[in-house]
Chains A and B, each alone.
Chain A
Amino acid sequence: MARRAGGGNDIQWCFSQVKGAVDDDVAEADIISTVEFNHSGELLATGDKGGRVVIFQQEQENKIQSHSRGEYNVYSTFQSHEPEFDYLKSLEIEEKINKIRWLPQKNAAQFLLSTNDKTIKLWKISERDKRPEGYNLKEEDGRYRDPTTVTTLRVPVFRPMDLMVEASPRRIFANAHTYHINSISINSDYETYLSADDLRINLWHLEITDRSFNIVDIKPANMEELTEVITAAEFHPNSCNTFVYSSSKGTIRLCDMRASALCDRHSKLFEEPEDPSNRSFFSEIISSISDVKFSHSGRYMMTRDYLSVKIWDLNMENRPVETYQVHEYLRSKLCSLYENDCIFDKFECCWNGSDSVVMTGSYNNFFRMFDRNTKRDITLEASRENNKPRTVLKPRKVCASGKRKKDEISVDSLDFNKKILHTAWHPKENIIAVATTNNLYIFQDKVN
């Protein structure tokens, strides 16, 4: 078989690894709630409903025998957030990690921000591979020596030890959000970051925890007039003054912090006009944007609503430049999806490193990729059935109606409890991390 060209064209995806328990009985705490590669792609972080963070590190593989790229193995794990109860407001605060964002690496240590509904924490992850030995007054096991028994002196020296990875919370950014935090985004200045809840967006300095600037406030004076909430927000990858936020009504607002201190008035409003005759009870619900991501270039942004992925050119506000249908066959199932609450599922989306392919999840543990250049799309499944390393994943197909072909799956057979909400793409290579309910799958493109 001829070797296919690289880039976004017709990549063959292979199973690489799967992490997590095999059993079907999923404990709530094990539900994965966020997945994120760091800037080099060497580290992969996951957060779960139990407030825990697990970080995997890619093994530096032997370049000579590169059948596949390095494997990801556990590097560090820690409890990021604990359940809390706000007695004043009678509010239960979940420990679920909503988002993790990595800081770019400045020194030997790694830093990440993790957030639950109310509190953002800056974690430092550092390695320790040496320890001092040869004290005069202490034995190796820590017991103190009787000073009178010391006859000679020696200088303690550092000796190698087994690698220890320690995570410590360096900053805790609390008490700035009345509503539930849905997004955090680090500015390209690497000094500030934003946190967004349903109605407000705050700007923080990474060094300062007792002060935060409110930059967007869409809370109406009378809550009865509430018509939309903020669903996601992100800083522009290059312009430190620019950020966007999406709403439950399917709009995206781009704001420029140079314009004013409070960015309630947008600089640009991105909205696709809707034919009023198409409007139904479900229109607004399915137009709600669950994720917004800038392209690496900063020229485009991608939004995910319930049924589609849209690519917007920042220079054009009146409609997206590309629209990809994720699972259009669900349009005729909206009634039952409303009844079982699936219509409110928040799917995320991501770009590949070169912005040529975008990926998002669906139901039945399916996930979809759209190649922007070839306009081809593919549906793959994260399943333990394709467990052997370097097994090429077979494309899947859903049959919307009528006669079901062999190997197709009908819409009614889809398992709506198996949702892929979180996916991540390595910033430089064709390695993807796909989270099912409680398992993390790693796939990579076929090498050789």
Chain B
Amino acid sequence: MDAGRVFGKKVNGRGLAGGPGCDVCYGLVEDTQEKEGILPERAEEAKLKAKYPSLGQKPGGSDFLMKRLQKGQKYFDSGDYNMAKAKMKNKQLPSAGPDKNLVTGDHIPTPQDLPQRKSSLVTSKLAGGQVE
């Protein structure tokens, strides 16, 4: 069985790729132990695809890598910022949600939202007088 053919088939809610002649049967007992080993992985994949149908075709490929390479990148548009500040004067914008690092999209960061560049003069608790 190859990956392409499996995902060409419709997968129903229970994760069974049905149809006659199909040799991929999730949840049924296979002969060899090897098949037992890979079935969980395929079942998990089907679960994921069911939840996120638009998930990229390329398996675990460039998307992750680009995200990894761009770690730490911050974006700021002074025009958007000033316009948002002007809007705020009229009505209170809801305060930033838990993800304070997200500075793209509709939410324009304000000085209050940004995480503090913390003072790093606090001694590590590993060096503190903790009881062993």
Contacts and interface: CB of A to CB of B under 8 A. Distances in A.
Interface of A: 17-22, 29-30, 32, 46, 48, 50-52, 54, 74, 77, 79, 82-83, 89-95, 117, 179-180, 198-199, 223-224, 226-229, 248, 276-285, 331-335, 338-339, 344, 438, 440
Contacts of A344: 64
A89 to B, nearest CB: 8
Given A179-B69, A277-B1, A335-B45, A83 B120 contact: yes
A303 B26 CA distance: 31
Contacts of B2: 276-277
Nearest to B70: A91
A406 to B, nearest CB: 26
Contact of A280 (B3, B55, B66, B118): B3
Contacts of B66: 223, 226
Interface residues of B, number: 45
Interface in B30-86: 37-38, 40-45, 47-49, 51, 55, 59-62, 64-66, 68-69, 71-76
Contact of B121 (A79, A180, A285): A79
Contacts of B68: 180, 198, 229
Nearest to B128: A21
A279 B72 contact: no
A22 B120 contact: no
A281 B65 contact: no
A19 B120 contact: no
A313 B104 CA distance: 48
A334 B1 CA distance: 21
A282 B42 CA distance: 9
A328 to B, nearest CB: 8
Nearest to A84: B117
Contacts of A332: 40-41, 43-44
A228 B60 CA distance: 11
B62 to A, nearest CB: 6
Task: Output the residue of B42, B69, B75, B117 with the most chain A CB within 10 A.
Answer: B69
Interface of B: 1-3, 37-38, 40-45, 47-49, 51, 55, 59-62, 64-66, 68-69, 71-76, 117-118, 120-128, 130-132
5 contacts: A52-B120, A90-B76, A226-B69, A282-B45, A285-B64
Nearest to B129: A74
Contacts of B75: 90
Contacts of A179: 69
Contacts of A95: 120
Given A77-B127, A90-B76, A229-B68, A51 B120 contact: yes
Contacts of A198: 65, 68-69
A117 B48 contact: no
B126 A335 contact: no
A334 B73 CA distance: 28
Nearest to B76: A90
B60 A281 contact: yes
A272 to B, nearest CB: 15
B3 A83 contact: no
Contacts of A180: 68-69, 71-72
A309 B28 CA distance: 30
B126 A54 contact: yes
B126 A19 contact: yes
